Amino acid sequence: MTQLLTHKPNGTDNFSARAFGPVPPKPSKFWPTLWAILAAIVVLVAAGGLQISWADLPSLPERIANYLWLMFESPNWEKLPRALFETWRSISMAWVGALICVLISIPLGMLAANSVGPLWLRTGLRAIFAVIRAVPEVIIALVLLTVTGLTPLTGALALGIAGIGTQGKWVYETVESAQDGASEAVRAAGGSTAEVTRWAIWPAVAPALFSYALYRFEINIRTSAVLGLVGAGGIGSMLSNYTNYRQWDTVGMLLIVVIIATMLMDAISGAIRRRLMNGGK
């Protein structure tokens, strides 16, 4: 009885092969293994080039905990009014930098899109965006320091110029990913490229571009604190000064202010972006 239940007709295997096709060969693990080994070698070479003192690593958590205790055990709130003022300067610097970035990157980014600008213009603009993205904000700020001096204007200009590369790329990618229905309708009615851009492309991509502009503002708020470390003003300058003088209780207060201000601006900006993407709902 058992043999009858377990026995399969001779044609069953042939039927499965005809119905489902031949069994695919087992995938080779050679290339994934090779890439994993190469990645491990790169990590080891990079770690070796950093000249890490491995003997000090076990004591690193204890030292970090000690400095955190010095900063947050009893923060010094005497400098809070000045910290709030410098935080406002950092936010203003981030906002001005975002405006500069957006006002320049939106028209240039739209011209860099495939459906808008000619080939020679698209190629040149995309190359400029790539070059700008390759230069960090700190380097741009150091170059501008020789012209504008140690002022928040330096930070605002650095944030504005550095953001053009990324923002411009977001713009032309957004334009290229937009649906072509409205554009084709305007072209069919005899519209020029400028008219297609104004009446078809812009209404379709404007909410996303405004959302990206607010996201740039959020990025600038974080970056403005870093630019202050090189003398561009704002809360970063206070952090740099009090860290150099080892006044950890004041540094802890400044970090609390920075964290709260950043989270607050992120929440406000995020709420506005969600309303833009949801059609104002």
Mean residue pLDDT across the chain = 82
Which residues 6+ apart lie within 8 Å of 224 measured at CB?
90, 91, 93, 94, 97, 155, 159, 232, 234, 235, 236
What SS3 state is found at 26? coil
Q: Which helix (H) or strand (E) holds 196?
A: helix 193-196
Domain ranges for the chain, please list them: 82-277
Query: Is a pLDDT exceeding 60 seen at residue 268?
Result: yes
204: closest CA among 126, 123, 116, 124?
116
Max CA distance (Å), the chain: 96
- Cα–Cα distance measured from residue 195 to residue 197, given in angstroms and rounded to the nearest whole number: 5
- Cα–Cα distance measured from residue 207 to residue 198, given in angstroms and rounded to the nearest whole number: 14
What SS3 state is found at 230? coil
Q: What is the dihedral of CA 241, 242, 244, 249, to 10 degrees?
A: -170
Helix and strand numbers (H, E) in the chain are 13, 0
Query: Is a pLDDT exceeding 60 seen at residue 6?
Result: no
- Cα–Cα distance measured from residue 92 to residue 235, given in angstroms and rounded to the nearest whole number: 11
Query: Is a pLDDT exceeding 90 seen at residue 58?
Result: no
Question: How far apart, in Å, are the Cα atoms of 14 and each of 21, 25, 171?
Answer: 10, 18, 56
- Per-residue confidence (pLDDT) for residue 179, from 0 to 100: 66
- Vertex 216: Cα angle to 212 and 222 (nearest 5): 150
Q: Are 99 and 273 in contact (CB under 8 A)?
A: no
- Per-residue confidence (pLDDT) for residue 54, from 0 to 100: 72
Q: Are 176 and 183 in contact (CB under 8 A)?
A: no
What SS3 state is found at 86? helix
- In this prediction, residues 172-178 reach a mean pLDDT of 85
pLDDT class for 209, splitting at 50, 70, 90? confident
What SS3 state is found at 24? coil
CATH superfamily of 82-277: MetI-like (1.10.3720.10)
Q: Are 43 and 199 in contact (CB under 8 A)?
A: no
Give the global pTM. Answer: 0.74
Q: What pLDDT, in 10s, does the model give residues 228-266? A: 777 777 888 888 888 888 889 899 999 999 899 888 988
Token couple for 155: 């930070």
- Per-residue confidence (pLDDT) for residue 10, from 0 to 100: 53
pLDDT class for 4, splitting at 50, 70, 90? very low
